[in-house]
Amino acid sequence: MFTQSSQSQDNQMPFSMNHGAHELLDVHEVLGAMIGGLNQYVLLRDQIQDPELLSIMDRQYPFMLDEYNLTMEAYKTGHDPKHPTRSYNMQIGNDTNYGIKPGEPKKPITSANEINDDIISSFMLSCHKAGAAGKTAAALECTNPVVRRVLQDSVPNCIEMAYEISLYQNKKGYYQVPQLSQQDMNTMLNMYGQAQQAKNMPN
């Protein structure tokens, strides 16, 4: 991650004040959502039954906490945080079980006693999906280059953690993945061809 001087080059404004209004409001929403996700992890941890899901949560939580602190620091100061954004690497295989099996319809619970690993993992997945969308939207509004970089570097981590949870859910049968027929799949895959260089565009 690059280092910024304490003053912007154009107007000598301190980098701590080098934020547009849309940026401040959008990153405010992102930080609030990050706190919400961290709080959910804390509230739900002791209710997890499956050691594998607990292991995933225990890997993701400190990583999420560190990303929150990096984002908060960049937001408050406009400077590089104490270390660059790290990359999250999931610890689960990436095999997907395809197909749909009939089961009980999903519906909201009516009592806290109904909480289970299916519901907890769904909370975790929703947290990361919301994080990826919110951070992408906020990064597109950023005028401060440090905050933009921290946000955009964080988006792949949200995607990776969401993927890890979805694979766990798929393995447990909580999240099913339908497929098209072989014929329809082949038709879709062959709908696109190689692009050629336009004559009026540079090589």
Counting Cα atoms < 13 Å in the Cβ hemisphere of 106 gives 8
Instruction: Kindly tell me if the per-residue pLDDT of 19 is higher than 80.
Output: no
Instruction: Kindly tell me if the per-residue pLDDT of 61 is higher than 80.
Output: yes
Alpha-carbon span 62 to 7, nearest angstrom: 33
Q: List Cβ neighbours of 81 (8 Å cut-off, separation of 6 or more).
A: 69, 70, 71, 73, 74, 150
Instruction: Kindly tell me if the per-residue pLDDT of 7 is higher than 60.
Output: no
Query: What's the pLDDT score for residue 186?
Result: 94
Q: What is the pLDDT of residues 170-182, one digit of tens each?
A: 999 999 999 999 9
Which one, of 152, 153, 6, 149, lies nearest residue 79 by Cα?
6
Which one, of 162, 166, 158, lies nearest residue 68 by Cα?
158
Query: What's the pLDDT score for residue 108?
Result: 93
Instruction: Kindly tell me if the per-residue pLDDT of 17 is higher than 80.
Output: no
Tokens encoding 122:
């769904």
Instruction: Kindly tell me if the per-residue pLDDT of 59 is higher than 60.
Output: yes
Residue spans of alpha helices (H) in 46-144? 51-77, 117-139
Amino acid letter, 16: S
Query: What's the pLDDT score for residue 42?
Result: 97
What does the pLDDT average to over 98-108?
89
pLDDT-based confidence at residue 4 (cuts at 50, 70, 90): very low
Domains of the chain: 15-93+114-189 (1.20.1260.10)
> pTM of the prediction?
0.86
Amino acid letter, 182: Q
Instruction: List residues bridging with 99 in a β-sheet.
Output: 177
Q: What is the pLDDT of residues 135-170, one digit of tens each?
A: 999 999 988 999 999 999 999 999 999 999 999 999
Q: List Cβ neighbours of 18 (8 Å cut-off, separation of 6 or more).
A: 8, 78, 143, 144
What does the pLDDT average to over 127-135?
96
What is the chain's alpha carbon radius of gyration, rounded to the nearest angstrom? 21
Query: What's the pLDDT score for residue 57?
Result: 97
